Amino acid sequence: MVNRVALDISDPATPSNLAVLETAMLWKFWKLCRISLARETVGYEYRLIPEAQEFFENQILNNYTQNNVYNFATHLNQNAKSTLFSDFLTQDSAISRAKRAAAGLCLRCNVSYPILKACQKIDSLFGGEKRFTYKDLLPFVLDDDGKTLIVLDSQAKNQLVLDDRGKTQPTNYKFFTVEVLRTFKADSQSSMSLDNWAYLQTKQNQEVKNFLSEFGFQHLSDWAILNRARRKQIESLSERDRQLINVFHAVYRRDRREHRSAGVLKCPDPSNSQLQEMLTALQKQNVTVKSNVELIAELKQVAVQLKQYDVWSSREPLEICDPNTGNDVLRPDLPHASTDELNVEQQEILEFLHQQLKSALIQSIEQEISACLAKLEKSKSYAIFAQRFIPGLQLYYCQGMSLKEIVPLLEMSSWDQARRVFNPGELINNIRARTVEKILDSTIAKAQEKGLTQIPPEPEYLKTLTEQIELFADVEIFKEAAEEIRAGKNRQMNSLYARQLRVYFSKITPPKKGVK
């Protein structure tokens, strides 16, 4: 007889359970990310949905043995999500509406997390010069109450509310989470992942777009991008491209001022007479361009390079999901198809950067915790707390306890003493510094290998690269981690940083007796 999974959901901090839960992040199927006015610092909370948890345990977890639950964790998208989608979308009369709604409830919880992340990434697109944060976007998309049972009609075009008697009726208000699920092609091998689909749909949400339009978030034409190019952007171009854009400005900007005074707001295509005037000016500068068609092509290529500059300066994601593979790839509006060897090499560096992040975080956690333990052991005043350091962090990150609650459990004298010993904020800062340093070192080595930088790197190159890596690490990991510890009472430790800490703890802490 095969034993079923010994997985106690009520005790997720148990090390053996933790490895499974953290690897697969199963709790996302029964905890809904939703708006919280009470949590003003972050603007959202994770709400346990008992109906979703019960359904997931009974319909998903109970169907896996202990041996293959780890394999299930690794292939979560192909197993749990596909099973839930099958139940949610089915029109099979043998599947009750209640089961369809419960499966949908699990998926609604799961999809709420990439929706939140999309809002946070949209926030980062604007840099620091803005008058809003991601919290202002949440009411448009995190509108799910986690209580109303929803199924889809036979054509999967409309949301239907399911009442206590099992009857359905149309609803005027459509939950955004359900709309993301409704429009997702779950059965298509060529479709993007659910997380990437949720991210895309959040960015395209009409209410979000209307809100952002007030802050200048808009897709500009090539001519608008060229027209607004600034000196710092132009300096990054080649000599030939600088000459092209300077001639473009001399002709197009001159006429553009007249168009604007006449009330024409949109940047029109350059006219033949304008293009001819630009060609004449370029000839005087010994720049050979054979025709208007060739000039337009070259100007559009310059616009692509300026878009790439904007990606870095405005923190816009460098990758999107490839619908054919479901993998993240460089955005198509970046010049990755260019035959320019430098551009190709730079893109390899960007891909390399993403690959380095997680391994750098794992190594940094291990090294920093070891350093903290060594420091405590050498301290005359705090050596007695060295053995309590990891248990204290486990209480903080696994049980969600505050330092005040940890004090009596570890026989410490005060909150201030606990803060000096554990200091979660300093731990984040030190792990962040180590992570950034590791990525910086490996990136510079890669750049030198590809001949993209001098040895040693120029100070300005090093400064710019460090800033971009710090920003990258903050957006992906440390911004959310810092927000968690500032959240105060009832904080939820669900960031990538917190999850990786818990995985680390599960590896170094032996399992409890009796836990299979």
- Give the model's confidence band at 266: pLDDT under 50 very low, under 70 low, under 90 confident, else very high: low
Q: Specify the higher pLDDT residue, 215 or 143.
A: 143
pLDDT value at position 203? 82
What is the C-alpha separation between 70 and 21, in angstroms, rounded?
10
- Cβ-contact 483, 42 below 8 angstroms: yes
Q: What is the mean pLDDT of the chain?
A: 76
Q: Specify the higher pLDDT residue, 492 or 515.
A: 492
Q: Specify the higher pLDDT residue, 335 or 239.
A: 239
- Per residue in 11-62, pLDDT (tens digit) is 444 444 444 544 457 788 999 999 887 777 788 888 999 999 999 988 887 7
- Per residue in 199-221, pLDDT (tens digit) is 888 888 888 877 776 564 444 57
What is the C-alpha separation between 44 and 35, in angstroms, rounded?
4
What is the C-alpha separation between 279 and 4, in angstroms, rounded?
76
Q: Which residues have CB under 8 Å from 1's CB, separation 6+?
A: none
Does the pLDDT value for residue 75 go beyond 80? no
- Cβ-contact 59, 9 below 8 angstroms: no
Return the half-sphere exposure (C-beta side, CA atoms, 13 A cut-off) of residue 455. Answer: 8
Instruction: Give phi and psi for 212, each to the nearest 5.
Output: -70, -25
Tell me the two tokens of residue 226: 């060229």
- Cβ-contact 194, 110 below 8 angstroms: yes
**Helix/strand number for the chain, H first, E second:** 24, 7
Residue 25: DSSP 8-state: T
Tell me the two tokens of residue 123: 């926030």
Tell me the two tokens of residue 156: 């999967």
Enter the pTM of the model: 0.46
